Amino acid sequence: PLSITPDSQSTFKAIKIMNQNELKRLVAQKAIEYVPHNTIIGVGTGSTADLFIDELALIKDKIIGAIASSERTKQRLEGHGIQVFDVNEVESVPVYIDGADEIDTEGNMIKGGGAAHTREKICASIAEQFICIADASKEVNILGTFPLPVEVVPLAREAVARQLSDLGGRPVWRKHADGTPLITDNGCHILDVHGLSINEPLALEIQLSIIPGVLTVGIFAQNAADIALIATAEGVKTIS
Ligand code: 5RP
């Protein structure tokens, strides 16, 4: 089991009235402590990552730059004047800092709610440490309540969906509110798989990853979080 260290600087009075967005900002601020100076770091995607980028901008002169896990993140980083490097230019990064849709007690995660999990997994794979930043609503005992995002090559979408159904899932093709298909940064589609209870995250990640046409599965077990910073009503707790 992982050990939990409460943040000694947190005060119940200050945090009790925080909404989810404020909790996300709190954990984004905390994550700055984990940014090594004079390095290139990895930056995730999503509303929590956006807030982290805004905090990173305040110390941008202390880092060399960043690799970005999505076009959205790249634009936000560059908008703040932070240099963005192509992942091909970088052998490794000391930290990759990103949110999650769910995280379990072992640091396994579901990601991809923002459709960015392929590039997120690539960035995580070259990071020495994955630091997950999340509010407490993301903590679970067993992954799978959040529908599992699976990025697929478009022509394989229905074939992959049939295989996911055979495994007991209910895949739903992700579309925009106007009914048009969501296209990822990689030109692919997303299936959100409902109804999976993921008791063995690593085994399922491997099993789904080898289905022909699957680009990336949103289970992060092979690249689980090394450190999770979780914002709660009592403050930020550190799980490592
Ligand atoms: C994007 C992701 C995000 O990390 C995840 O969806 C959490 O997002 P948010 O910080 O907005 O709650 O995996 O693909």
Task: Write out pLDDT tens, residues 104-135.
Answer: 999 999 999 999 999 999 999 999 999 999 99
- For residue 184 and ligand 1, the question of a CB distance below 6 A is answered with no
Single pTM value for the model: 0.93
CA pair distance 97, 76, nearest whole angstrom: 15
- For residue 98 and ligand 1, the question of a CB distance below 6 A is answered with yes
Give the DSSP H or E segment for 164.
helix 157-166
Ligand 1 centroid distance, CA of 91 (Å)? 25
* Tokens (6 digits) for 180: 């048009």
Query: What pLDDT, on the 0 to 100 scale, is given for residue 197?
Result: 83
Query: What pLDDT, on the 0 to 100 scale, is given for residue 4?
Result: 58
**Choice from 45, 133, 186 to test ligand 1 binding pocket (greatest atom count within 8 A of CB):** 45
Give the DSSP H or E segment for 179.
none
Q: Are 95 and 66 in contact (CB under 8 A)?
A: no
Confidence band, pLDDT 50/70/90 cuts, at residue 1: very low
Closest Cα to atom 1 of ligand 1: 114
Residue 166: φ, ψ to 5°? -60, -25
- For residue 218 and ligand 1, the question of a CB distance below 6 A is answered with no
Q: Residues near 159 by Cβ (< 8 Å), separated by ≥ 6?
A: 212, 213
Sign of the dihedral defined by the CA atoms of residues 83, 52, 95, 222, in that order: negative
Looking at every residue in the chain, the average pLDDT score rounds to 94
To the query of whether residue 120 is one of the catalytic residues in this protein, the response is yes
Query: What pLDDT, on the 0 to 100 scale, is given for residue 14?
Result: 47
Complex confidence, ipTM: 0.99
